[in-house]
Each structure stands twice: as structure tokens, then as C-alpha cells.
Amino acid sequence: MSLIQFQQHRELDLIGVGRLCIDLNANEINRPMELTRTFTKYVGGSPANITIALSKLGKKTGFIGRIADDQHGRFIMNYLQECGVDTSNVVKDLSGSVTGLVFTEIKSPEECSILMYRDNVADLKLEPGDVSEAYIKRAKAILISGTALAKSPSREAVFIALEYARKHDVVVIFDIDYRPRTWVSLAEVGAYCRLVAEKSDIILGGREEFDLLEDLAGQARDDRETANMWFEHRAKIVLVKHGGAGSTAFTRDGQVLKGVTYKANVVKTFGAGDSFAGAFIYGLMNGLSVEESQRLGAASASIVVSSHSSSDAMPTIEKIQALIQSAN
């Protein structure tokens, strides 16, 4: 019996919850942002990227979030619809909020950073009333990103979504997605993310992100200890990402699976986690093993880190399979 029981009769495969923002990726790469003059605009926001990735892989997706009543908000809405994401539950925020901006700096293929403008952003204005139980029960899975827990009322909206998902056997996928610029304190990161992780079926994060949940910032607990801690709750899969060194997946039934990586002509390192997550979830939804799903994730990440964007570069399954074939 499959580790993760997706309700197959549901019309939506995945609903993303949370951040919809704009990536502004420097065009003049391999130099600090002080020396860049032009940027290319893409839709961004980790949950948006992952939802877009699944949509481009042919999955039926939806989104619960808020956009600003500005040109960027309209750009995001148009792009989601072009990608086939259902936007019926994306709310236009009329409080005068703005769209979160992510300026990305590509000093070198290995040295990239992101500068996030997060004040008065629409995504954190998501309210509990925006979360529809009837919408959530139409989905096989929801994807929650940790950053949506950083401020109220988004925080409460996420907990409502979590409650509806548990009530209607919707698989809960939690991507820790720690973004320092949005949080008030590390104590809050740990407190709120632990509450969600304890109710999640699949937890994805980097080593440092799991440390934050375990109040071990900088003490780097052993991945297996981390997994066992979450298996004491609802988790069936705990996946620890390790950048270019790959990933390790732990399953509740005792498997420990080292994920492969595929050689990439790295342009930038960001986008790896979201592309990995999208293809990994796709594999699980298609009944593939955790190991095969990791393989899809790794191939997708290799494609996206070799590209200028995150969302735009999310690949089709054919592109992913071609890369895997060529590597064999």
C-alpha cells in the first residue's frame, strides 16, 4: 500500500497556499547587485513556484492567496491563468498592500542571494475568511509554506486551511521555506512551523530549516534523528535537502533514500528547492516510489538551476525524462 494515500477521485491535485510575489532576476550576472542595471520579471514565491511546477507537469492545481491591487498583482494573476492554475480563490487585497518583491543577485553560479521587500505585502494579508472548506475538500493535497506563518492574519488562515485539509483527508505537504526577512524572531519560526509540521504528511526542508524547527539553530542534528522526531507525529515522508549534495528521504516504514543529483550548467542556485519539490510531489501523485520521485525532483532542479528564472523555467515531464535519459 502506498505510503501517501491521495484521494484519487478529487478534481484538483494540489492547492498551493500563501505567497504570490515577483522575482526580479538580475540580467547582468556574475557581479554584485550594485553593478546590475536591469532585471527580468517573473512570478515568484515558493508556493507559487511549486504550484506552477505541478501545473506545467500536467497536474490540476489551484491556489489560495492574496494579490495586491497593482500591476504586479495583475501580472501574477495573468501568469497563473496562463499556466492553468485555478485562481478562483486568489483574492485581490484592497487594503493598499503591495506585491512582495524578490531582487536576486547572481554574483557567481555558486554565490547567489535574494533581497526581499516584504513590508505591507498582500500575501500576508490572507485572512481566514479567504479559506474555503468547499475548495480545499476538492483537492488531493495542499501545499503550505512556512513563510505564510510569519504574520497574522495569514498565520490564522493557514491553520484554518490545515484544519479543513485534515478534516477532508487532503494530504498536507509542508515546505518549511524559511525566509529571514519576513519573521520577527527565530522563536516564532520554531513555534509556528512546529505546529504545522506536527499535522503534516510530508515535510520538506533544508538541514538548517529543520534545525530552526527543533530549536537547534547551528547545532545541525542528524537527519535521521530529525525524521524520527516527525514520525512521532503524522509525517509519512521527511525529506532533507542538501543542495548540490542531493537529498535524503526518510519514510515512516524505515526507508532511508539518498537522492541523486544531475550535473547542471549552474546559472543560479535559487529555484532548486521549488523545482525539486514540484517534480517530487508529481512523482508521488503518480504512484512512483519515493526514490523515483526524488530522481524526478533532482532532474527538475538541475534544469531550473541552469536557467535564469524559477517559475518560467519549471519543466515539462518530457524535458525531465529527456535529462534523466541523457544522464543514463
Ligand X SMILES: O=C(O)C[C@@H](O)[C@H](O)C(=O)COP(=O)(O)O
Ligand Y SMILES: Nc1ncnc2c1ncn2[C@@H]1O[C@H](COP(=O)(O)OP(=O)(O)O)[C@@H](O)[C@H]1O
Residues that bind ligand Y (CB under 6 A): 206, 241-244, 246-247, 259, 261-262, 264, 266, 269, 272-273, 276, 298, 301-302, 305
CA separation, residue 104 to residues 40, 75, 137 (Å): 10, 19, 36
- Look at residue 186 and give its three-state secondary structure: helix
State in angstroms the smallest separation of the CB of 46 from ligand X: 4
Find which of ligand X, ligand Y, none residue 243 binds, CB within 5 to 8 Å per kind: ligand Y
CA separation, residue 48 to residues 80, 121, 123, 141 (Å): 8, 15, 11, 15
Find which of ligand X, ligand Y, none residue 56 binds, CB within 5 to 8 Å per kind: none
Find which of ligand X, ligand Y, none residue 246 binds, CB within 5 to 8 Å per kind: ligand Y
When the beta carbons of 131 and 314 are compared against ligand X, the nearer one is: 314
Give the integer Cα–Cα distance in Å for 255 and 289. Answer: 11
When the beta carbons of 23 and 93 are compared against ligand X, the nearer one is: 23
Give the integer Cα–Cα distance in Å for 272 and 302. Answer: 7
When the beta carbons of 73 and 251 are compared against ligand X, the nearer one is: 73
Find which of ligand X, ligand Y, none residue 21 binds, CB within 5 to 8 Å per kind: ligand X
- Look at residue 158 and give its three-state secondary structure: helix
Decide: residue 300, CB within 10 A, 0-12 exposed, 13-18 middle, 19+ buried. buried
Instruction: For 303, list phi and psi in degrees, rounded to 5.
Output: -65, -45
Dihedral through CA 216, CA 254, CA 262, CA 201, nearest 10?
A: -70
State in angstroms the smallest separation of the CB of 137 from ligand Y: 29
Find which of ligand X, ligand Y, none residue 244 binds, CB within 5 to 8 Å per kind: ligand Y
Find which of ligand X, ligand Y, none residue 102 binds, CB within 5 to 8 Å per kind: ligand X
CA dihedral sign of residues 250, 194, 89, 165: positive
In the complex, which residue's CB is closest to ligand X? 44
State in angstroms the smallest separation of the CB of 50 from ligand Y: 10
State in angstroms the smallest separation of the CB of 194 from ligand Y: 19
C-alpha cell at position 156: 490564522
When the beta carbons of 160 and 204 are compared against ligand Y, the nearer one is: 204
Cα-to-chain-centroid distance, residue 244: 18
In the complex, which residue's CB is closest to ligand Y? 273
Cis bond upstream, residue 153 (ω within 30): yes
The single-letter code of the amino acid at 94 is L
When the beta carbons of 12 and 323 are compared against ligand Y, the nearer one is: 323
Beta bridge partners of 113: 105
When the beta carbons of 200 and 269 are compared against ligand Y, the nearer one is: 269
Find which of ligand X, ligand Y, none residue 206 binds, CB within 5 to 8 Å per kind: ligand Y
State in angstroms the smallest separation of the CB of 118 from ligand X: 9
State in angstroms the smallest separation of the CB of 217 from ligand Y: 16
Question: CB–CB of 98/120 below 8 Å?
Answer: yes
When the beta carbons of 242 and 252 are compared against ligand X, the nearer one is: 242
Question: CB–CB of 201/171 below 8 Å?
Answer: yes
Query: Interface with ligand X by CB under 6 A: which residues?
Result: 19, 21, 23, 44-46, 49, 102, 114, 270-274, 310
Find which of ligand X, ligand Y, none residue 310 binds, CB within 5 to 8 Å per kind: ligand X
State in angstroms the smallest separation of the CB of 312 from ligand X: 10
Give the integer Cα–Cα distance in Å for 177 and 175. Answer: 5
The single-letter code of the amino acid at 90 is V
When the beta carbons of 49 and 251 are compared against ligand X, the nearer one is: 49
